[in-house]
Amino acid sequence: MKILMVASEAVPWAKTGGLADVVSSLSITLANLGHDVRIVIPRYYSIDRGELKLLPGAMGTPMGGIEEWSAVYTANMPNTDKNLVKVYFIDHEIYFGRDGIYGSPSESDFSDNSRRFFFFCRAVFQLCRKIEWYPDILHAHDWPTSPAPVYLKFAERVPQSSGEFKNTVSVLTIHNLGYQGIYSKDNFNYMGLGWDVFYNAGFEDWSMLNMLKAGIYSADKVNTVSPNYAKETKIQAHGFRLDGVLRYRSADYTGILNGIDNKVWNPEKDTYIPQTYSAKDMSGKAKAKETLQKEFGLPRDPNVPVIGMVTRLTEQKGVGDLFGPAYGSAWSICRDMDVQLALLGTGEYWCENEIASLAARLSNFKAKIGYSEKLSHLVEAGSDFFLMPSRYEPCGLNQMYSLAYGTLPIVRRTGGLVDTVENYNEQTGGGTGFMFDQLNPSSIYNTVGWAVWAWYNRRDDIEKMRLRGMSQDFTWESSALKYMEMYNAALKAKS
Rounded Cα–Cα distance for residues 287 and 470 (Å):
18
Contact between 399 and 417 (Cβ < 8 Å): yes
Q: Which residue, 9 or 91, is less far from ligand GLC as judged by CB?
A: 9
Binding mask 253-272 for ligand GLC (x = CB under 6 A): -----x--------------
- 139 sits in the region (left: phi over 0; alpha: psi -120 to 50; else beta) called beta
Please work out, in degrees rounded to the nearest 5, the angle formed at the alpha carbon of residue 167 by the alpha carbons of 114 and 251: 70
Q: Which helix (H) or strand (E) holds 375?
A: helix 373-382
| Segment near ligand GLC (CB under 6 A); pick from 12-20, 55-63, 356-364, 367-375 | 12-20
Contact between 308 and 385 (Cβ < 8 Å): yes
Rounded Cα–Cα distance for residues 237 and 234 (Å):
9
Which of residues 2, 247, 287, 312 is near ligand ADP by CB under 6 A? 312
| Segment near ligand GLC (CB under 6 A); pick from 15-23, 291-299, 359-367, 453-461 | 15-23
List binders of ligand ADP among 367-426 (CB under 6 A). 371-373, 376, 395-398
Rounded Cα–Cα distance for residues 96 and 347 (Å):
22
Q: Quick one: what does residue 225 bind among ligand GLC, ligand ADP, none, with the CB cut-off 5 to 8 Å set by partner type?
A: ligand GLC
Residue 305 touches ligand ADP, criterion: CB under 6 A? no
CB of 350 to ligand GLC, least distance (A): 20
How many other CB atoms sit within 10 Å of the CB of residue 473? Answer: 10
What distance separates the 2 farthest-apart alpha carbons in the chain? 72
Q: Which amino acid is at 110?
A: F
Binding mask 192-221 for ligand ADP (x = CB under 6 A): ------------------------------
Which of residues 284, 394, 431, 449 is near ligand GLC by CB under 6 A? 394
Which of residues 3, 4, 7, 18 is near ligand ADP by CB under 6 A? 18
Q: Which residue, 297 or 370, is less far from ligand ADP as judged by CB?
A: 370
DSSP letter for each residue of 99-125: S-SS-BTTBSS-TTHHHHHHHHHHHHH
CB of 176 to ligand GLC, least distance (A): 4
| Segment near ligand ADP (CB under 6 A); pick from 287-295, 333-341, 366-374, 478-486 | 366-374
Please work out, in degrees rounded to the nearest 5, the angle formed at the alpha carbon of residue 52 by the alpha carbons of 49 and 56: 95
Strand pairing report for 340-347 and 365-369: parallel
List binders of ligand GLC among 415-444 (CB under 6 A). 416
Q: Quick one: what does residue 344 bind among ligand GLC, ligand ADP, none, with the CB cut-off 5 to 8 Å set by partner type?
A: ligand ADP
| Segment near ligand GLC (CB under 6 A); pick from 4-12, 242-250, 390-398, 477-485 | 390-398
Rounded Cα–Cα distance for residues 161 and 325 (Å):
57
List binders of ligand GLC among 224-253 (CB under 6 A). 225
Nearest position to ligand GLC, beta carbon? 18
Residue 182: phi, psi to the nearest 5? -105, 120
Rounded Cα–Cα distance for residues 100 and 434 (Å):
36
Q: Which amino acid is at 486?
A: M
Q: What is the Cα gyration radius of the chain?
A: 23
Give the closest residue to 225 by CA, choosing from 354, 89, 415: 415
| Segment near ligand ADP (CB under 6 A); pick from 97-105, 301-309, 343-351, 439-447 | 343-351
Binding mask 125-164 for ligand GLC (x = CB under 6 A): ----------------------------------------
Q: Which residue, 123 or 388, is less far from ligand ADP as judged by CB?
A: 388
Which of residues 9, 13, 14, 18 is near ligand GLC by CB under 6 A? 18
Give the closest residue to 217 by CA, choosing from 190, 187, 193, 197: 197
Q: Which residue, 51 or 373, is less far from ligand ADP as judged by CB?
A: 373
Q: Which amino acid is at 386?
A: F
Residue 19 touches ligand GLC, criterion: CB under 6 A? yes
Residue 272 touches ligand ADP, criterion: CB under 6 A? no
Rounded Cα–Cα distance for residues 483 and 37 (Å):
13
Burial of 43 per CB tally in 10 Å (0-12, 13-18, 19+): buried
Residue 181 touches ligand GLC, criterion: CB under 6 A? no
**Contact residues: ligand GLC, CB under 6 A:** 17-19, 22, 175-176, 225, 258, 393-397, 416
Residues that bind ligand ADP (CB under 6 A): 17-18, 21, 310-312, 344-346, 371-373, 376, 395-398
